[in-house]
A and B are shown apart, each in its own frame.
Chain A
Amino acid sequence: MTASSRTTSQELLRGLRIAVATIAGAVLLTASLPRKLSIHEPLATQLVAYGVLLALLLVEVVAIVRNREWGRFRMPALLLVIAASTLSTWTLAPEFLLTSTDWSFGTSGWLGVVLLFGRPLSELSAFLGVNLAITAARVLVVSGGDSDLLLGLVAGAVGTVGFPLACGMATTIVRRIADDAERATARAAEIRTSEAVAVGLFEAREARLARLDAGAEELLRGLADGTLDPNDGEVRRACDLEAARMRRFLAEADHAEDRLMYELRHGADVAERRDVLVEFERAGRWRTPPDEVRPALVDGVLAGLTAARRRARVSVIGIGPTLSVSVTSDGGDWKPQLRTHPDVTHIVVTTEEQTWIESTWTDGSPSSSSTITESPAEG
């Protein structure tokens, strides 16, 4: 949408430029010179001046077709117009000044509109002023204060300065509108983009938060409204479990070689802070389980660790496509609500003094040999 709006505003400006060139062309081609060649004396200077203006107009036509700006050629071109205007005005027979034979008086100003298209209005005003001054100077020299001729100059100036200036003002306004439209479109696009990014981020965060499930929220609500007592051992266990789940969840964002062991160690950190000695054992080899499987697969270990009093042992073993993650801990009578996943099964065995939770995932993907973690030697 941004692209097409840009094109619209560019098309508008291009149309405007063509219109200005067309007006200038019409004025130049209908100028009286071609019809009154026999009157002029000397004729050559008039033809040179006319030729210069016509050449500049042709260059403009080429520039429009090629979609080019005047750029650094603008000032030399303007000087050429002034020179042509001066040449024509000052070599004209004095009796033709301000008459219909004085073709350049009403024509050269339009070339200024063409050359100063898209430039500030003040530049066009200055150019038209200079252009008028050329004729005015000749008139003053010739007339020697003849009031009729001076009146004619003023009357002529209304058309020769006023029309191009009005046209220049119109282009400036249309141009400003186009620029405003373009900026507004860009701003709207920017807002839409940042909005889309914000929505995407929000959805990603919400999806991640949803994986933390209602557990933490329920717990926090209970603690806030006083229905759960922080001195209650069960409540503390539940808090430990949610804290471990959160630690694992946050560790998900880190880069780690062996994601499973990395997340297990992070989850175990909560128990270690309670001075529980956590040992890790591993055997066999396995493929790193995908993101959606790990929360459920690791949950049994996190829950088992919250039951531990002094020590716990975390074991990971990969046998073919089966990956088993488990924990034995010296705390008993613990039947936590574990997270589930269709491909993960949990076994919870708990006695008065011991709890063993084993979570097993069977990798159904055909590429199970692609990223295999081998159980390394541990000194």
Chain B
Amino acid sequence: MRSLLAGATPPIDVLSDGPTVDVALGDGPGAEADVVILDLQLAPGIPTLDGLQRLVDAERRVVVYTQFVDDALAVQCVDIGALAYVTKPEVEEHLIDAIRAAAVGDPYTPPNLGGALAGDVDPGRPVLSVQEITALRVWFTSRSKTMAAKAMNVAPATIHTYIDRARTKYAAQGRPARSKAEMVKRALEDGLVSLEELEPVEPQA
């Protein structure tokens, strides 16, 4: 992981690492880091999201990195306030981008997270438009925004916009953590979404 981050251009410094989230909290050596990468494998057995909750509560920007390719877990992490959810097979292609986005408070959606959001069947999920769901789907299936854009017959930036709008709707849902609130505020300022679109909706039957 260290070598992967050091090899990025520009390089990403690792301030600290440790077996628990405490390294990034309070007086921990990683308390000053711009981004916290949380490996959900930290605890053996069933992954618990307590650590993520504590980091988000402490207003840290978190990228979840895990070997669990699990839709429900991915959506849960996003709900709590993780800015990105990167699965092990996606590390090489997406971790660096996810960290850079998180460093400035932006969400990042690797393909598997896109698939998880597109396939989310939770009745309480935010209402996504057809284009947003399609964009998430083709991003998941093609793993290339260029390809996805070709398939949808739009510009690659538009795919990006659709995906970010979907993420913003998720961020606006429920109790807003700082990173989520920041994301929503920015999306509103940029005109990415309107307030009406973020109105909470009654769960669908």
Residues of A near any B CB (own CB < 8 A): 279, 281-285, 313, 315, 317-319, 324, 326, 328, 347, 349, 351, 354, 356, 358, 375-379
Contact = CB atoms under 8 A, between A and B. Distances in A.
A344 to B, nearest CB: 15
A318 B69 contact: no
B13 interface: no
B53 to A, nearest CB: 20
Interface of B: 67-71, 73, 89, 111-112, 115-116, 118-121, 133, 137-138, 140-144, 147, 150-151
Nearest to B90: A281
B118 A319 contact: yes
B68 A328 contact: no
A285 B121 contact: yes
Contact of B119 (A284, A326, A379): A284
Contacts of B115: 281-284, 315, 317
Contact of A319 (B119, B142, B147): B119
Q: What 10 A-B pairs are tightest by C-beta distance, nearest first? A: A284-B119, A283-B115, A326-B141, A377-B70, A283-B119, A315-B141, A356-B142, A378-B69, A356-B147, A349-B150
Contacts of A281: 69, 89, 111-112, 115, 140
- Interface of chain B, main secondary structure: helix
A315 B112 CA distance: 10
A379 B142 contact: no
A120 B86 CA distance: 91
B118 A283 contact: yes
Contacts of B119: 283-285, 317-319, 375
28 contacts: A279-B89, A281-B111, A281-B115, A283-B71, A284-B118, A284-B120, A285-B119, A315-B111, A315-B141, A317-B141, A319-B137, A328-B143, A349-B147, A349-B150, A351-B147, A356-B141, A356-B142, A356-B144, A358-B138, A358-B141, A358-B142, A358-B151, A375-B70, A375-B71, A376-B70, A377-B68, A378-B68, A379-B68
B133 A319 contact: yes
A347 B138 CA distance: 10
Contacts of B67: 379
A194 to B, nearest CB: 50
Contacts of B68: 377-379
A354 B147 contact: yes
Contacts of A379: 67-68
A254 B197 CA distance: 48
Given A283-B71, A319-B118, A375-B71, A313 B143 contact: yes
